[in-house]
Amino acid sequence: MVAIRMKRRDVLFSLIPAMIVGFVLLVSVSLCWQFHSFKRIYMDDARRNLEQHTHFFQNVLAEDIAANQQQKINERLARYRERPLRITLMDAEGHVFAESDNDANVLDNHRTREEMQKATREGIFVTRYSETMKSTMLYHAVRLENGWVLRTSIPIDAVKPAYNQMVEAVLLSLALGGILVFAIIVYLFKRVRPDFVNLQTAANEIANGNLDVLIDPPRAGLLRELSNDIARMATQLKAQINDLKRLEQVRSEFIANVSHEIKTPLTAISSTVEMLTEIELTPEARTRCLDILAKQSRRLNNLVQDILSLAAIERRQSAISQNFECVSLPAVIDEAISYYKEEMDRAKITLNFQPSPLPNYEVMGEHRLLEHLFSNLINNALRYANATMFTFSITETKRHLKVAFSDNGCGIAEEHLPRLFERFYRVEKERSRATGGTGLGLAIVKHIAILHRGKVTVTSELHQGTTFTLTLRKI
């Protein structure tokens, strides 16, 4: 198959010079045909003009010829001495009676001339070389009623320069065409073909999955651009494949984590149900089992809800446009706080706003999702921060609004911060499960921010507190 492709490629390289040769030959044939047409038109026009002149002088000289007025005829013809047109009057024996360009007495007898012998009343045309004029002439001869012959002629050598130029142009075209074809053949097989072969080899390697193939681009030309484009394509394909592998790994890890997270409450529920159905329990033990069932059911329900929420948000991220509306940031924050007001009061947490009250800044977004984002941040702080103060602050830049949520709690070690927004990542796994956390809260926060074309970042210091900052575009 490779040999067949190479043969076709070489045929293509040979076909290009052949097409150029054909084009040069076509131009040459066209030039010859055009000159032939020009020569034919030129001769037809010359014959018409010569015939008109012959008939004109036949009428003008008729009376003088009948009266044998040689002097008068010579005077009339002498007016055309400096012109290309030559007029000759010969008697029936071929003696020149009068001539426009020469003295009739010095001219030879013309009875052997072709036009003299073939002349008729209607007139005939003869083309021949004239020894007298030293030029090729076109003759028109008419035999008069008295047997004399009136002849007009013009030189037609004027066509020769054009013919010679045409021949030179054709030969030059052929020579230049041959040089051009030779140069193109050398260029194609010495410069283009090797680059083309290298590029095709690299493309085949890429098609076979070798994305690390080295593409050596030509120094210049379209193939250089094509080589660079193919190299970029290979790099992008490699990046996409790596992304797909990474996504596949994330998916596998996600499925494993989901399976593990679901397995824990299901195992607890299954074991508790077996105890309730197979063992005789005291009322106190039965109550504890029911509490376990309720707690693990809530945990399982929360996990399923968070998984569904995260999947729905990720699906929306691929949409071209979102049905967003103007949302008041203080209103969203107030609603998120209201869900945890009683829990914050029991934990004796102080709320702080900077500035106070918060300015009524608005962004384009979805109220429910932004409220979900801040609810998850508050819930996360309540479960793990051991804080006594929550602070909300809003700052404005030229293009963005930044909403910061801070606590003065235990803080998070620096090694945990880069992975904090990963699914199911927990700083303290046992404590997180004990408090009922699903491990998806901060992942949901991250993807809600991305959906709103924003981002969320975190800074923290042990025993000093943690700050989550949401950055959104201004309207």
Q: In Å, what is the CA distance from 253 to each residue of 9, 37, 197, 257, 389?
A: 49, 85, 44, 6, 36
Closest among 323, 268, 256 to 299, alpha carbons compared: 268
Q: Using H for helix, E for strand and C for coil, what is the string for 439-450?
A: CCHHHHHHHHHH
Per-10-residue mean pLDDT of the chain, 475 residues long, equals: 51 64 70 71 82 86 83 82 83 87 81 86 87 82 89 76 68 76 75 71 74 68 68 78 77 73 80 82 85 85 83 81 90 95 94 93 94 94 93 94 95 92 79 65 92 94 94 91
Which residue is listed with tokens 């030293």? 134
Longest dimension (CA), the chain: 167
Query: Residue 353: what pLDDT?
Result: 95
Query: Residue 406: what pLDDT?
Result: 95
Q: In whole angstroms, what is the distance from residue 170 CA to residue 165 CA?
A: 9
* Residue 273: CB atoms within 10 Å: 13
Q: Report if pTM > 0.75.
A: no
Query: Residue 1: what pLDDT?
Result: 47
- Kindly calculate the radius of gyration of the chain based on its CA atoms and give it in whole angstroms: 53
Closest among 102, 160, 105, 159 to 131, alpha carbons compared: 102
The 10 Å CB-count burial string (b at 16+, else e) for 63-93 is ebbeeeeeeebbebbeebeeeeebbbbbbee
* Single-letter residue type at 472: L
